[in-house]
């Protein structure tokens, strides 16, 4: 019998602050509609200097650990393209911060925004090989571009933690997927840079071509068709990209669909991302949380996932929602985090932006955010983290 493996629990975290794209548009003398309608974004979650991919990851994972015996976690796969160390894995930092047992593997996985899907598939295969294993997959990123570039309006941050296990309670990942790799330079970040470089318009073309290629492979590999899928989750650098992707797939598969059907299949998965912005490797899975938290009656429905990582690697795969999944969602925490964020002025955003650049000398960060974990400072070239007083 084919062992069922997939997402047993899932929770995401974002920062305590946002920059409204209305404020951004006014600052740049642009029409707010360019962002609200043109790219489909309203806010960007902004991380303060004492928040990074590690603290966001720990914040995402903690509510999952509270529901299981942490000793059961055999491995942590940490996907990120905004990692904090060239050698030590982000997973090892999080392992320490969460106080996990030593009998655990901890590694970091990279390929731009695709790494989260790669980590998920690797975890599924690990659990299929040994169904007693439970793998904690974390995708965590802070999207940062240079100021006054086309990418600046598409920044954001977030982390998703997923427990991958046999007989999952939320989503069973189905066997078979379609993938596509091509060595291109649409978005990249050389080792000496803290911000990404992007050929923006080109990147959208490569994204759409990768979707067609990965879909065709998926169809050949699985025999599943467009009509077999109920809801579509796409990698969301900005929500208009997901809309364009769905239109492309409708056209590519010669599907007849009106705009109401398109909306029904895609809009629920875009609600959170419109507010959070790009979170690179986490973005697809924040979209999945958005779908589950905003679209009722998903039991037994098939959801597809298109992951796109610039550079580029793409994968199209699907999963079946498990009956009773709604009893395990952490909707209240997701919505509370989004709704309780504080707005930043453009100047406050700039202060965060500049003070988040990795310092080479010792520093003690002031307390900016109320989250359960903080980056307290850097001493002797070592990053120091701590649980905060708000850590229940
Ligand atoms: N009202 C309504 N719509 C308006 C408008 C207005 N006043 N003004 C402009 N628009 C529309 C434009 O017509 C355009 O729509 P279409 O794309 O449908 O033509 C849209 O708003 C954007 O306008 P521009 O093309 O002028 O915007 P831009 O050149 O400033 O930037 C971008 C667009 C290149 C995508 C830019 O946001 C960017 O560089 N983003 C970062 C790269 C990115 O996210 N790429 C996505 C694919 S790569 C990927 O997915 C990996 C990843 O996460 C990075």
Residue nearest to atom 15 of ligand 1 (CA): 38
Q: How many residues does the chain have?
A: 392
Dihedral through CA 263, CA 233, CA 372, CA 168, nearest 10?
Answer: 120
Q: What is the DSSP string of 236-262?
A: -SSHHHHHHHHHHHHHHTT----HHHH
Per-residue pLDDT for 141 more than 80? Answer: yes
What contacts 366, CB < 8 A, 6 or more positions away?
49, 50
Give the residue carrying structure tokens 């690179």: 280
The C-alpha atoms of residue 26 and residue 29 are separated, in whole angstroms, by 5
Q: With bands split at pLDDT 50, 70 and 90, how would you rate the model's confidence at 1?
A: low
Average pLDDT of the residues in 184-211: 97
How crowded is the C-beta side of 208, counted as CA atoms within 13 Å?
Answer: 18
Distance CA 166, CA 169 (A): 9
Could you report the per-residue pLDDT of 276-323, keeping only the tens digit for each?
Answer: 999 999 999 999 999 999 999 999 999 999 999 999 999 999 999 999
Give the pLDDT score at 392. 60
Among 30, 39, 139, 247, residue to substitute to test ligand 1 (most atoms within 8 Å of Cβ): 39
CA distance 308 to 101: 33
The answer, yes or no, to whether residue 27 has pLDDT greater than 80, is: yes
> In the structure, what pLDDT confidence band is assigned to residue 359 with cuts at 50, 70 and 90?
confident
| Partners of 173 in beta bridges | 319
DSSP 263-325: HHHHGGGGHHHHHHB--GGGHHHHHHHHHHHHS---TT-EEEEEEEETTTEEEEEEEEEPTTG
Phi and psi, residue 183, nearest 5°: -80, 95
CB of 25 shorter than 6 A to ligand 1? no
Other C-beta atoms closer than 10 Å to the C-beta of 244 total 17
Is 233 an annotated catalytic residue?
no
Cα–Cα distance, 42 to 284 (Å, whole number): 18
Sequence-distant contacts of 372-376: CB under 8 A, at least 24 apart: 372/58, 372/59, 372/62, 373/54, 373/55, 373/58, 373/59, 373/97, 374/50, 374/51, 374/55, 375/49, 375/50, 375/51, 375/52, 375/54, 375/55, 376/50
Pocket residue to mutate for ligand 1, from 203, 209, 239, 240, most atoms within 8 A of Cβ = 203
Tell me the two tokens of residue 217.
């492979």
Question: Does residue 75 line the site of ligand 1, with CB under 6 A?
Answer: no
Residue owning tokens 């978005």:
187
Q: Tell me the pLDDT of the chain averaged across its residues.
A: 97
Q: Return the pLDDT at 103.
A: 96
Q: Is 204 in the pocket of ligand 1 (CB under 6 A)?
A: yes
Residue with tokens 């602050």: 17
Q: What is the pLDDT of residue 389?
A: 79
pLDDT at 357 over 80: no
**pTM value?**
0.98
Greatest Cα pair distance in the chain: 61
DSSP string for 183-235? ---SEE--TT-SSBEE-HHHHHHHHHHHHHHHHHHHHHHH---GGG-SEEEE-
Residue 297, ligand 1, Cβ within 6 A: no
Percent of the chain with pLDDT over 70: 99
The verdict on whether 275 is a catalytic residue reads no
Q: What percent of the chain has pLDDT over 90?
A: 97
> Could you report the per-residue pLDDT of 62-86, keeping only the tens digit for each?
999 999 999 999 999 999 999 999 9
Q: What is the pLDDT of residue 342?
A: 98
For the segment 227-235, the average pLDDT, to the nearest whole number, is: 98
Is residue 78 lining ligand 1, measured as CB closer than 6 Å?
Answer: no
pLDDT over 90 (residue 391): no
The phi and psi torsions of 110 (rounded to 5 degrees) equal -130, 125
Copy the structure tokens of residue 87.
Answer: 């050698």
Mean pLDDT of 125-138: 97
Question: pLDDT tens digits, residue range 249-268?
Answer: 999 999 999 999 999 999 99
For residue 162, pLDDT over 70 is answered with yes
- The count of other CB atoms within 10 Å of the CB of residue 159 is 33
Q: Kindly report, residue by residue over 203-220, the tens digit of the pLDDT.
A: 999 999 999 999 999 999
- Whether 235 is catalytic is yes
The Cα 193–Cα 146 span in angstroms is 10
pLDDT value at 366 more than 70: yes
Of 184-198, 232-246, 346-360, 366-380, the poorest mean pLDDT is in: 346-360
């Amino acid at each position: 019998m084919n062992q069922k493996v997939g997402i047993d629990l899932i929770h995401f975290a974002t920062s305590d602050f946002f920059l409204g794209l209305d404020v951004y548009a006014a600052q740049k003398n642009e029409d707010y509609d360019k962002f609200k309608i043109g790219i489909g974004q309203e806010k960007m979650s902004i991380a303060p200097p004492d928040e990074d991919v590690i603290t966001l990851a720990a914040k995402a994972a903690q509510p999952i650990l509270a529901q299981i015996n942490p000793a059961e976690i055999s491995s942590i796969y940490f996907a990120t393209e905004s990692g904090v160390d060239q050698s030590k894995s982000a997973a090892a930092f999080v392992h320490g911060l969460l106080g996990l047992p030593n009998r655990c593997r901890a590694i970091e996985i990279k390929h731009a925004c695709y790494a989260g899907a790669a980590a998920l598939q690797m975890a599924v295969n690990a659990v299929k090989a040994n169904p007693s294993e439970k793998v904690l997959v974390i995708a965590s990123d802070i999207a940062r571009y240079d100021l006054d570039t086309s990418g600046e309006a598409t920044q954001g941050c977030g982390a998703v933690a997923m427990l991958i296990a046999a007989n999952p309670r939320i989503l069973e990942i189905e066997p078979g997927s379609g993938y596509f790799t091509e060595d291109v330079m649409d978005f990249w970040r050389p080792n000496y840079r803290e911000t990404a470089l992007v050929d923006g318009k080109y990147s959208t073309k490569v994204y759409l071509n990768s979707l067609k290629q990965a879909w065709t492979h998926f169809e050949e590999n699985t025999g599943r068709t467009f009509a077999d899928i109920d809801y579509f989750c796409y990698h969301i650098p900005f929500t208009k990209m997901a809309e364009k992707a769905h239109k492309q797939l409708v056209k590519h598969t010669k599907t007849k669909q009106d705009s109401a059907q398109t909306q029904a299949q895609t809009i629920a998965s875009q609600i959170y991302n419109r507010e959070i912005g790009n979170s690179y490797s986490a973005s697809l899975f924040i979209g999945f949380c958005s779908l589950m938290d905003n679209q009722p009656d998903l039991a037994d429905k098939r959801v597809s996932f298109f992951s796109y990582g610039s550079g580029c690697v793409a994968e199209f795969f699907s999963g079946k929602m498990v009956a009773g999944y709604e009893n395990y969602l952490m909707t209240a925490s997701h919505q509370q985090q989004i709704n309780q964020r504080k707005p930043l002025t453009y100047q406050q955003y700039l202060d965060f932006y500049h003070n988040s650049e990795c310092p080479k000398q010792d520093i003690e960060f002031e307390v900016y955010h109320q989250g359960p974990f903080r980056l307290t400072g850097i001493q002797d070239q070592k990053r120091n983290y701590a649980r905060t007083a708000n850590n229940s």
